[in-house]
Structure 1
Amino acid sequence: MCLAAPAVAQESAAAARAAAAQLEAATVQLDRADGARDRIRALTETVRAYEAGLSAMRDGLRDAAIRETELSRKLRGREDEVAQLLGALQGIGRAAAPETLLHPAGPVGTARSGMLLAAVTPGLAANAADLRADLAEVTTLRQLQEDAVKTLQQGLAGVQQARTALSHAMAERTELPMRFTEDPVRTAILISATETLEGFASGLSEITEEDSESLLPSIEGRMGTLPWPVSGQILRRAGQEDAAGVERPGVVLATRPRALVTTPTSATIRYRGPLLDYGLVSILEPQADLLFVLAGLDTVYGEIGEVLAAGAPVGLMGGTEAETGDILSPIGDRAGNARPETLYIEVRQGDLPVDPMTWFSTDKG
Structure 2
Amino acid sequence: MIRRAAWSICLIMGVVAASAVGAQEPAAAAQAAAARLEAAGERLRDASGARDRVRALTETVQAYEDGLAAMRDGLRRVARRETALSAQLKAREGEVADLLGILQTIETSEPPVLMLHPAGPLGAARSAMTLAEVTPGLQARVNGLKRDLDEVKTLRLLQQNALGSLQEGLQGVQNARTALSVAIADRTDLPKRFTEDPVRTAILISSTETLSGFASGLAEIAGGEIATDNSDISARRGDLTLPVQGLLLRGYGQRDAAGVARPGMLVATRPRALVESPTAATIRYRGPLLDLGNVVILEPQPDTLFVFSGLAEVFGETGQVIPEGTPVGLMGGQTPQADAILSLSGEGAGTDRSETLYIEVRMDNSPVDPETWFQTGKNG
Partner of 2:221: 207
8 A contact 2:197–2:222 mirrored in 1: yes
The one-letter amino acid paired with 1:202 is: S
| CA displacement at 1:187 relative to structure 2 | 2.5
User: Alignment RMSD, CA only?
Assistant: 3.0
Flag structure 1 segments of 5+ consecutive residues without an equivalent.
none
State the identity %: 61
| 2:211 aligned with 1:218 | no
TM-score, structure 1 length as denominator? Answer: 0.87
Specify whether residues 116 and 183 from structure 1 end up closer, same or farther in structure 2 by C-alpha distance, changes over 3 A only: same
| 2:253 aligned with 1:239 | yes
Q: Matches of 1:150 and 1:214 in 2, distance apart?
A: 52
| 2:107 aligned with 1:107 | no
Q: Matches of 2:374 and 2:50 in 1, distance apart?
A: 30
Q: How does 1:225-304 map to 2 (within 5 A)?
A: 225-304=239-318
| 2:45 aligned with 1:31 | yes
| CA displacement at 1:99 relative to structure 2 | 12
Specify whether residues 333 and 80 from structure 1 end up closer, same or farther in structure 2 by C-alpha distance, changes over 3 A only: closer
| 2:80 aligned with 1:66 | yes
8 A contact 1:255–1:340 mirrored in 2: yes
Which of 156, 179, 188 is matched with 2:170 structurally? 156
Of the two, which has the highest radius of gyration? 2
| CA displacement at 1:114 relative to structure 2 | 5.9
The one-letter amino acid paired with 2:79 is: A
The one-letter amino acid paired with 1:290 is: T
Specify whether residues 256 and 364 from structure 1 end up closer, same or farther in structure 2 by C-alpha distance, changes over 3 A only: farther
The one-letter amino acid paired with 1:162 is: A
| 2:333 aligned with 1:322 | no
Deviation larger for 188-197 or 306-315: 188-197
8 A contact 1:239–1:250 mirrored in 2: yes
Which of 138, 144, 155 is matched with 2:152 structurally? 138
| CA displacement at 1:36 relative to structure 2 | 1.5
Which of 1, 5, 11 is matched with 2:25 structurally? 11
Q: Matches of 1:216 and 1:316 in 2, distance apart?
A: 29
Flag structure 2 segments of 5+ consecutive residues without an equivalent.
1-18
Deviation larger for 135-144 or 101-110: 101-110
Partner of 2:15: none
8 A contact 1:234–1:253 mirrored in 2: yes
User: What are the Cα deviations for residues 19-75 of structure 1, in whole angstroms up to 9, with x where unaligned?
Assistant: 233222222221121122211111111111111122112211211112112222333
The one-letter amino acid paired with 2:103 is: L
| CA displacement at 1:230 relative to structure 2 | 1.0
8 A contact 1:301–1:314 mirrored in 2: yes
Partner of 1:338: 352
User: What are the Cα deviations for residues 269-298 of structure 1, in whole angstroms up to 9, with x where unaligned?
Assistant: 111111222221111111111111111111
8 A contact 1:40–1:170 mirrored in 2: yes
